[in-house]
Amino acid sequence: MPSYVFPPLAIPTLAVAGSADLFPVHRVYCVGRNFADHAVEMGHDPSKEPPFFFQKNPDTLVPSGSTIAYPKMTHDLHHEVELVVALKSGGEDIPVERALDCVFGYGVGLDLTRRDLQGEAKKAGRPWETGKAFEDAAPCSALVPAETTGHPAAGRIFLNVNGVLKQDGNLNQMIWKVPEMIAILSTLFRLAPGDLIFAGTPAGVGPLVKGDHLAGGVEGVGEIALTIA
């Protein structure tokens, strides 16, 4: 038996809806600017950009219904509601037509972003981790198995802040669909069981302040709620 120099940290997990089972998380990938209206909102031309990806750390996941602290070192925390794709298998160079075979299920996530720190990193040509991978940066609902949801290619995705609708789109507006995301991502990384993919956000992202309550969802998948302490 190995002897650890200190007790290993627990494996991050997500609940599985309707079950006592837990989904062990391996990596968390995010697709940038995957809705055309959000790409335009952020000052980019979606017709000219191939997909790009960044990561959040698995231990930044927090369950729906949580209350989290307003993050340190930012004055411009933003919300981004997203479909979350959970993989049960992986590999490299996965063909598009086989990509959905890798999917365990789906959830609803929030890609919380320290926009001011992300903006500073962009201007300096530096990585985005300080803007994207901080503590509690990836709230996520319980996962619903694909055998229950099917593979949603359309359906409303929305977010309210303090009861006011801020983001309202449809999954059919995604530039890169779920099978394409998986296939392209598998050319860059060896995907594995337990990987999550945050699939991009519609337009309407904006700032949050202490005391805000967020509530949103993806039609046919689930809902998410979060409070900023």
pLDDT (tens digit, 9 = 90+) per residue, 189-218? 999 999 999 999 999 999 999 999 999 999
Q: Hey, where are the domains in the chain?
A: 13-228
pLDDT in the model for residue 133: 97
Q: Which residues in the chain show pLDDT less than 70?
A: 37-48
pLDDT in the model for residue 36: 72
Q: Which two tokens mark 28?
A: 């968390």
pLDDT in the model for residue 83: 98
pLDDT in the model for residue 46: 59
Cα separation of 187 and 50, whole Å? 13
∠ Cα 224 138 44 (to 5°): 100
Q: How far, CA to CA in Å, does 96 sit from each of 69, 127, 152, 182, 185?
A: 40, 29, 16, 8, 11
pLDDT in the model for residue 35: 86
pTM of the model: 0.94
pLDDT in the model for residue 37: 62
Cα separation of 69 and 227, whole Å? 9
The 3 state secondary structure assigned to the chain is CCCCCCCCCCCCEEEECCCCCEEECCCEEEECCCEHHHHHHCCCCHHHCCCCEEEECHHHEEECCEEECCCCCCCCEEECEEEEEEECCCECCCCHHHHHHHEEEEEEEECCEEHHHHHHHHHHCCCCHHHHCCCCCEEECCEEEHHHHCCCCCCEEEEEECCEEEEEEEHHHECCCHHHHHHHHHHHCCECCCCEEECCCCCCCEECCCCCEEEEEECCCEEEEEEEC
- Domain 13-228, CATH homologous superfamily name and number: Fumarylacetoacetase-like, C-terminal domain (3.90.850.10)
Identity of the amino acid at 43: G
pLDDT in the model for residue 40: 43
pLDDT (tens digit, 9 = 90+) per residue, 55-68? 999 999 999 999 99
